Amino acid sequence: MLPSQKMAWGNVIVWGTYLIVLAIVLAANGTVLFWQENSLKNAFFIITGVAFAAFIIMMLFVWTGASRAKVTIDERDHKIMNRANALAGPIAMTALAATSLVLGLVYVESENSVMSPYFLMYVTLINIVVYWLAQAIYTLVAYRRN
Amino acid sequence: MAPLQKRALISLLMGLALAIALVVVFVTRDIMGFRLIVYALWIGVPVVYLVLMNLTRLSKLKQIDERDKLIKDRAPKIQWLSVIFTLVVWYIVLNDLYWDQGQLPVVYLTFIFISTLIISTLAESLGILIGYWRMNRNG
């Protein structure tokens, strides 16, 4: 298996699990505005911290494995990575717009004239995670097709 | 100049004009029909982007070669990174300004989204132009 494939699998496992766990925690508490309760806020930061730590460990494993095996990246890999980036960008932007719209509607419904600073952190994080996931899924599909 | 390069340059100039318009609207918001102009920008930015980067490309498809495709495929990464940095900058600036209050006015949401759209459009055009510049420089 090539390093880019390993990284894609790692991304799917780490960030897919992250989104599922986060969805379960938020659904169990009945709100998407995690910053409104201290316990939920702590849970959010712990889940996010663990996911980032797992992501870094996974990257280190893939990089050290690739440098030991002296794997070379060819034109096909470059093409797949470029296509993956081209596809992941619009998907992440759509996720950003959708998250912003949903959270914006939550604010409008509650007739708030102020919002939490966590709002921006939330949409940025969702954008990053969706980008990595979309990129990883496309990479796996492209290698399978080839 | 390649068709894609020309389109990117026009898109960049249009994006800059819209960005300046946004700043002008923000500065003169008490004088002008603030909300209407903001709505016009909301619709204007994606329409300009769609026409310049997608619709007009269809008729010139035969003029796009492998080099153009390579540059076009690389640009979205720059575009995405620019969006992320825009959001991070907004987060830092607004947090710093409203640290004591602990809450931000909802009106900033509109500016954040419009600026993200504009930056996204500008970054793709800039990415394409940088791609051509680097390719011409390195051969």
**For position B100, what pLDDT does the model report?**
81
From the list B73, B79, B90, which residue is nearest A120 (CB)?
A: B90
Bridging pattern class, strands A114-115 and B104-105 = antiparallel
Kindly indicate the confidence band of residue A75, based on its pLDDT and cuts at 50, 70 and 90. Answer: confident
| DSSP tag of A37 | S
| Element containing residue A114 per DSSP (H, E) | strand A114-115
Interface check for B72 against chain A (CB to CB < 8 A): the answer is yes
Provide the ipTM.
Answer: 0.71
**For position B55, what pLDDT does the model report?**
60
Interface of B with A in 2-31 (CB under 8 A): none
Of A48 and B48, the one with more pLDDT: A48
| Size of the A and B interface in Cβ pairs below 8 Å | 72
3-state DSSP of B8-34? HHHHHHHHHHHHHHHHHHHHCCCCCCH
**Cα–Cα distance measured from residue A73 to residue B37, given in angstroms and rounded to the nearest whole number:** 49
Instruction: Report CB contact under 8 Å: A116, B109.
Output: no
**Cα–Cα distance measured from residue A59 to residue A49, given in angstroms and rounded to the nearest whole number:** 15
Nearest CA in chain B to A135: B77
Cα separations in angstroms, B16 against A53, A138, B21, B118, B123: 39, 33, 8, 8, 11
| Element containing residue B126 per DSSP (H, E) | helix B107-138
Contacting residues of B for A128, CB less than 8 Å apart: 84
Could you state, in order of their start, the residue ranges of all structural domains in chain B? 3-138
**For position A13, what pLDDT does the model report?**
93
Taking the model in full, what pTM does it have?
A: 0.74
Calculate how close chain B gets to A39, using CA atoms only, in Å: 18
Contacting residues of A for B104, CB less than 8 Å apart: 114-117, 119
Looking at chain A, list the stretches that DSSP marks H as alpha helix, in order from N- to C-terminal side: 3-29, 38-69, 75-109, 118-145
**For position A21, what pLDDT does the model report?**
92
pLDDT tens for the 139 residues of chain B, in order: 777 777 778 778 877 877 777 777 767 666 556 666 666 666 676 676 666 666 655 455 556 677 777 777 777 778 888 888 888 888 888 888 887 887 888 777 777 877 787 788 788 888 888 888 887 776 6
| DSSP tag of A71 | P
Query: How many Å from the N-terminal Cα to the C-terminal Cα in chain B?
Result: 15
Calculate how close chain A gets to B91, using CA atoms only, in Å: 6
| Element containing residue B75 per DSSP (H, E) | helix B66-97
